[in-house]
Amino acid sequence: MTEPNALLTLKDVTKRFPGVVAVDRVSLEVWPGEVHALLGENGAGKTTLVSLLYGLYPPDEGEIFWRGRPVRIRSPQEAIRLGIGLVPQHPLLVRAHTVLENLALGMPRGFLFPTRGLEDRIAELTRHYGFRFDPHAPVWQLSEGEKQRVEIVRALLQGARLLILDEPTSVLTPQEARELFKVIRRMRAEGEAVIFISHKLDEVLEVADRISVLRKGRLVGTIPREKADKAELARMMVGRQVSFERRKPPPRPGEVVLELAEVHASSDRGLPALRGVDLRVRAGEILGLAGVAGSGQRELVEVVTGLRRPERGEVRVLGRAPWSRRRPRIAHIPEDRRRQGVAGGLDLAENLILHDYARPPFARGPLLDRRAVYAFAREQIARYRIDPPDPRTPARLLSGGNLQKLILARELHGEPPLIVAVHPTYGLDVGATELVHELLIEQSRGGAAVLLVSEDLDEVLALADRVAVIQNGRIVGEVPAEAADRERIGLWMAGVEA
Amino acid sequence: MRRIGPFLIEKDLVAPPGRVLAVSTAALVLAFLAAGLVFWAYGVSPWAAYRTIFSETLLSPSGFAEGVRRAIPLLLAGVGLVLAFRGQFWNIGAEGQLLLGAVAAAGVALFAPLPDLLKLPVMFLAGFAAGGLWAALPALLKLRLGVNDVLTTLMLNYVAVYLVEWLIHGPWRGRTAFGFAYSDRFPEAAMLPLLPGTYVHWPTLLVALLAAVTAWFVLARTVWGYPVRVTGDNPEAARYAHMPVFWVVFGVALASGGLAGLAGVGEVAGVHGRLLGAYQISLGYGYTAIIVAWLARGNPLGAVLTALFMGLVFASGDVMKIALQMPFRVTDVFNGLILFFLISTERLLYYRVRWAPARKEH
C-alpha cells in the first residue's frame, strides 16, 4: 500500500552495477511542498538514485509510484512528462546561444524556435521567483549561479512538479547559494516538491524539511529537520562519530616564510588581477585567505608558487623568488586536482614523483630507478591509506578523496616550509575533509607556513590563525581568527567596506 | 549502460590490451572489406586480389623484402611521430621533414669534399639536422606565438616539395640528366649497401630499429622521457609541476623531424642514388607514418610491427600494379580506409559488450 497523497514513492528500489549494489532496497516518499534532502558521502548512491528517477536507467528491483500510481520511467522525456525535472550539477547549456534560445531548445515540439510567447512566460517565472537574468544574454557570459538558475527555469517551464537539484551549491559562492535557498523556499511555498542532493551538512540543515541519509547504497534513515542535528547526521552518513571541533594548538609564529610587497599581476586575459598585494605568512601559522571567487586568488596562488611572474612588486619565499631555480620547496595543493594535480594516464607511483623525478633516489644519473619509485609509492600509499593500494593504478581511476590523498602525500613530502592549499576539501566527503584539516594543522604546528585559500568561510574560520580577505585584487582586511566576525568579513568580501 | 537486445553495453575507464588488439584488428578487417569493394568496382575479384596479394607479399621472399624496404622510412618517421604525439606536438609534417633530409643528404653526397669513409655518416647527420630544423620552425612558432602546429607542419610539406622541385630543375640538375629533372648520381661511397638479393638498405633498417628501442627506453626509463609522458598526458599538470614544457615540446619536435630526415637519407642513398622528384622519393611515407604512429598507440616498439604492416600494404601496391593491372595509388585508398576505420572505432575501446539476456518482467 502506498501513501495516496505522496507525490513520489520509492519502494525497495535496487540498482546493481557489476561488483557493486549502488542502490540497495531504498524506500522513501516525497510530498508536495516539501524539500527533501538526500544526504550522503561521495559514492553513497545519491546520483544513481537520481538517475533512476530521471529515467536514465531502470531499477533492477522495486517500484516507483507517481501520485500513487506505479510508473516505469524509461527516459528523461518520460520523467519530464510526468513532471520530474532535473537540474544537473554542471549546467548543460549551449554556450554560444542566448538564454532564451537555450530554453526554447528544451521545449516540446515546434519545428522552428518557439521563442514567441516563451519570453512572456520566462519573464513571469523570473519575476515570481525573484531570478535575475537577461534572456538575451549569451550563455558564456553568465556566472555559474546564473546558469544554474537558467536550468531551474527550464525545468519549471517544462512543468516540473518535482525538482531534483544535484549538488547545486558545489559551483556556487556562498552568496549565490543563499540566493538559491531563497528560490527553493519560494518553490516550496508554491507546492512544488524539491529533492536536494548534497553532502554538506550545514546547507541541508538550512534548507530541507526532511532529510534522508544514504550510506553505501542503503537508506540509513529519514528524519525531519526539527529532529536532526549536525553530529547525528554526520554519524548516520559516515557510520561513526565525527568531530567538528578542530583541536588546534595555539600557533607559534616564527620567521616570515612568505612575503609579498606591492605585487601587481595580470590574469591570463591580460587584465589586472592583483593590484598591489601585501601579505606575510610566518612559519607555524595558517593564514586563511577568504574572498568571492575570481577576486584574484588564482593569480595570487600562481605568483606565490612561481607559476606566474608578477609585473611589479616583490615576492619572496625564505628570501628567494618562487620562480627561481633555487626556490625552497613549496607544497601546492591545486584548485582543480584532476585537471592540474595529476597526469591521469600515468600510474600512482609515477604521479608521486612529479616534482622529484630528476633527483635521487628516483633518478640515478639520467635513468629512473623504478625500484625506488615503486618502493616510495608503496610507502606513501600505506601511510595515507590510498585506495586502491596498487601503485600501478592509473591516477584517473581514483576517487576525489583518494586523489587528494595522493596529492597530499606528494606535496607534503620533504618538509616544505610553505604550503599553499587551494580549496583543499572541495567536493570531498566528511572523512577525507577531516584528514586534510588534520594534516594542515599538523604541518603548520610542525613549523610550516600555510596559506589556505578557500571560498568556504566556515573552513577558513575553523582552520586559520589569521584571516585575510582579498577583494578585486587587493587585500582589504586582515584579522586574527579569534577576533574574526563573519559579518565584517562578508562586507570586506563584497567590497562594501574597503 | 544500455541494452540492445540481449546485450548490455557498459562504459569502461580503461581499455584493456586485449580489447585494443581486437578493435584494431576489426578496424583493419573492415578496411580490407571496404577496399575489396573498390577492387570489385574496378572489375577485379576481391577474393582473387587478396589471394594474389597475400601470396606475393607474405609468402614470397622477394615480395616480403619489398615490404621491409618500404617499412624502413615508415618506421623511422613513425617512431618520430610517436614521440611527437606523446609530447603534444601535432606533427603532420613528416613528409616535408623527410624530403629535407633527402635534400641535405644529396647536398653532402654531391658537393661535400669529404673522404669516402665519412660520406655516409655525414649524410645521416646532415639529414637528421635538416629534418629537425624543418620541425623546429613550427615548434618555435607554437611555443612562442601559439601558432597551430597542425597547420604549420602540414604547410611546410608543400614548401619542402617545391624546394626539391626547384633544386632538381635548377641548380642541382644533373649534367647527365639529358633534360630529365633529377640530380647527378651519387658517388659510390655515398650509396648504402643492400642485403644481397634484395633492395633492403640494411644500415638504415638498423638505425630505424635502434631508434625504436632507444625511443622506448628514453620514454619509459629516463628523466628526459618522464616529462614528455606527463606533458603528453596532461600539459596542465606539467606546467603545475614546473616542468620545462618548452624543452619537452622542442625536444620531441627536433627528434621527430630528425628521424623523418633520416628516412629521407635512406631513400636517396639506399634506393634512388640521386635526388629526384618529391613524389618519386617518398610515395607519401610521411603521411603513412601518421597511421603507423596511431596504430602503435604511443608505443615506439609497437611502431616496428605497424611499420612492417604498412610496408607490406605498400608492397601489395606493387603487386596490384603488376599482377592485377591496377594503379599503384590504390595503396592511398587503402591507407585512407585504414586510418578512417581506426579513428572511427577509437571510441569502441571504452565500451564493453556483455551477453545478458533480459529477465522476464511483469
| pLDDT, tens digit (0-9, with 9 covering 90-100), for A331-379 | 999 988 888 999 988 999 999 999 999 888 899 889 999 999 999 999 9
Distance from CA of B235 to the nearest CA of A (A): 8
Distance from CA of B4 to the nearest CA of A (A): 13
* Region A78-100 average pLDDT: 84
Measured from the Cβ of residue A346, the count of other Cβ atoms closer than 10 Å reads 22
pTM of the model: 0.75
CB contact under 8 A, A341 and B237: yes
For residues A246 and A120, the model is more confident at A120
CB contact under 8 A, A343 and B1: no
Among the partner-chain residues B222, B238, B239, the one whose CB lies closest to the CB of A366 is B222
Distance from CA of A340 to the nearest CA of B (A): 5
Among the partner-chain residues A346, A350, A368, the one whose CB lies closest to the CB of B222 is A368
Closest CA to A236 of A214, A217, A216, A207: A214
Proportion of chain B in helix, strand, coil states, percent, rounded to 5: 70, 5, 25
The partner residues of A474 in beta bridges, in order of sequence, read A471
Whether the predicted pLDDT of A109 surpasses 60: no
What residues have CB less than 8 Å from A443, skipping those under 6 apart? A412, A419, A450
Domain A256-494 has CATH 3.40.50.300: yes
Residue reference for cell 597526469? A343
Task: Residue A324: list chain B partners with CB under 8 A.
Answer: none
Is-contact A315 A322, C-beta < 8 A? yes
Average pLDDT over chain A, rounded to whole?
Answer: 85
State which of A7-16, A54-63, A424-433, B256-265 shows the largest mean pLDDT.
B256-265
Cα–Cα distance, B198 to B205 (Å, whole number): 13
Cα–Cα distance, B12 to B33 (Å, whole number): 29
Report the percent of chain A where pLDDT is more than 70.
93
**Residues of chain B below pLDDT 70:** 1-3, 8, 12-14, 177, 356-362
Distance from CA of B303 to the nearest CA of A (A): 20
CB contact under 8 A, B14 and A367: no
Residue of B nearest to A15 (CA): B1
Distance from CA of A44 to the nearest CA of B (A): 19
B14 and A CB contact within 8 Å: yes
Cα–Cα distance, B263 to B127 (Å, whole number): 8
CB contact under 8 A, A368 and B237: no
| pLDDT, tens digit (0-9, with 9 covering 90-100), for A163-194 | 999 888 766 766 778 888 988 998 888 888 99
Cα–Cα distance, A442 to B154 (Å, whole number): 55
CB contact under 8 A, A307 and B240: yes
Residue of A nearest to B224 (CA): A366
Task: Residue A350: list chain B partners with CB under 8 A.
Answer: 226, 229
Q: What is the DSSP letter of A389?
A: -
A8-238 belongs to which CATH class?
alpha beta
Among the partner-chain residues A355, A358, A394, the one whose CB lies closest to the CB of B223 is A358
pLDDT band for A1, please (50, 70, 90 cuts): very low
> In A, what residues contact B, Cβ < 8 A?
17-18, 57, 306-307, 332, 334, 339-346, 350, 353-355, 357-358, 363, 366-368, 370, 394, 396-397
CB contact under 8 A, B1 and A57: yes
Cα–Cα distance, B322 to A3 (Å, whole number): 82
Is-contact B186 B268, C-beta < 8 A? yes
Proportion of chain A in helix, strand, coil states, percent, rounded to 5: 35, 25, 40
CB contact under 8 A, A307 and B1: no
Helices (H) and strands (E) in chain B, counts: 14, 3
Question: Among positive and negative, which fits the CA dihedral B79, B82, B85, B86?
Answer: negative
CB contact under 8 A, B227 and A355: no
Among the partner-chain residues B221, B234, B239, the one whose CB lies closest to the CB of A367 is B221
Contacts across the A-B interface (CB distance below 8 Å): 59
State yes or no: cis peptide before B17, omega within 30 of 0.
no
Distance from CA of B92 to the nearest CA of A (A): 24
Q: What is the dihedral of CA A360, A362, A368, A371, to 10 degrees?
A: 130
Residue of B nearest to A360 (CA): B223
Q: What is the dihedral of CA A385, A387, A389, A392, to 10 degrees?
A: -130
Task: Residue A341: list chain B partners with CB under 8 A.
Answer: 237, 240
Task: Residue A334: list chain B partners with CB under 8 A.
Answer: 240
Among the partner-chain residues B10, B240, B242, the one whose CB lies closest to the CB of A341 is B240
B50 and A CB contact within 8 Å: no
The letter for the amino acid at A337 is R
- For chain A, residues classed under CATH 3.40.50.300 are 8-238, 256-494
Among the partner-chain residues B221, B224, B234, the one whose CB lies closest to the CB of A343 is B234
Distance from CA of A483 to the nearest CA of B (A): 35
Interface test with B, best of A63, A342, A398, A413 (most B CBs within 10 A): A342
pLDDT of residue A200: 77
CB contact under 8 A, A346 and B230: yes
B223 and A CB contact within 8 Å: yes
CB contact under 8 A, B233 and A344: yes
Distance from CA of A358 to the nearest CA of B (A): 6
User: What is this model's ipTM?
Assistant: 0.81
Domains of chain B, each with CATH number or no CATH:
64-325 (1.10.3470)
* Region A469-498 average pLDDT: 80
CB contact under 8 A, A366 and B10: no
pLDDT band for A242, please (50, 70, 90 cuts): low
CB contact under 8 A, B221 and A17: no
Largest CA distance in chain B: 90
CB contact under 8 A, B229 and A339: no
Residue of A nearest to B222 (CA): A367
At residue B265, what are phi and psi to the nearest 5 degrees? Answer: -60, -50
Task: Residue A372: list chain B partners with CB under 8 A.
Answer: none
pLDDT band for A279, please (50, 70, 90 cuts): very high
pLDDT band for A472, please (50, 70, 90 cuts): confident
